[in-house]
A and B are shown apart, each in its own frame.
Chain A
């Protein structure tokens, strides 16, 4: 028993354990997701997060310790975002042909995200700080956290809401789009990226490169639109 304890102490001090835990959990989640025919409700991010959180709670490991290992995966988010230029470049002809429609749709989506979140939150009695975080939920985390800090919200709460929005959009988005009869991959990607940033884009890339390219574009443009619109709207109403 003591030997086992010793091995455990040794392993948990190195980044290897939690990096491997992240990879194995994701592999298992992907296997389930693919087995189920990429059913959006079995979102691999959600499944892996549930598995890892349970393992951390059982082993009483702090998030800080976990992140020492997981940071190597987390770091790649930046380069991966830059790499979204490649699908965008491949689809650029398509993008250029409908540039005006794309810009208008993202603008409409951005306004919808802000106004509906504020209205529903206000109606159900959310505090001011929560309202700010809710209003910026659809944009990529660093932008959302910056906006909410600027308007007196809680950046940490904002980060959580952003992740949850990404997962909700990736899970429900494809079903909603089927329901309203939208089949065009470009349109589907644009909607996913506007509403649920990178996690929506990851889901879009699973099913179609066209959807992924439009989703990455929408993620970037919605970050810009929300950063400009939300402070204006906030000052108008609060």
Chain B
């Protein structure tokens, strides 16, 4: 448990360093995810301890967004100015993105299967 958590932190730290030094347009944890993925490929499998640690972290991923979500209270003022434009854009653009991505993927997987 401890060694896999350490490995995750090492990947994150390496990702943060790479992101800052190489000025990559991707945040450190996402690069850390790639690094851990590469490690798993090289190792050729996932240890039980890593499975437990990852399941523990990801089992309640929603919880981890609550503190940032509460931060919305600081910025209600910013939303007041353009609230109609903002809410319309958020809702319709999000729905459009979901529809386009899903239909494109569905269509392309069908095309490649046949």
Contacts and interface: CB of A to CB of B under 8 A. Distances in A.
Given A125-B82, A146-B25, A73 B105 contact: no
A227 B37 CA distance: 22
A212 B33 CA distance: 14
Could you tell me the dominant secondary structure of chain A's interface residues? helix
Interface of B: 5, 8-9, 11-12, 15, 25-30, 32-37, 40-41, 46, 50-51, 53-54, 57-58, 60-75, 78-79, 81-82, 84-86, 88-106, 108-109, 112
Interface string A150-162: 0000101101110
Contacts of B95: 172, 176
Contacts of B99: 176, 180, 191
Interface residues of A, number: 113
B54 A169 contact: no
B66 A52 contact: yes
A138 B97 contact: yes
Nearest to B50: A86
A145 B93 CA distance: 19
A202 B8 CA distance: 19
Contacts of B71: 63, 67, 159-160, 163
Interface in A58-79: 63, 66-67, 70-71, 73-74, 76-79
Contact of B70 (A70, A159, A161, A187): A70
Interface in A29-78: 30, 43-46, 48-49, 52-53, 56-57, 63, 66-67, 70-71, 73-74, 76-78
Contacts of B79: 157, 160
A11 B112 CA distance: 60
Contacts of A87: 54, 58
A210 to B, nearest CB: 13
B88 A124 contact: yes
A206 B60 CA distance: 9
Given A124-B89, A156-B78, A180-B102, A83 B69 contact: no
A45 B69 contact: yes
Given A84-B58, A109-B104, A117-B89, A77 B64 contact: yes
B96 A116 contact: yes
A109 B86 contact: no
B25 A112 contact: no
Contacts of A127: 81-82
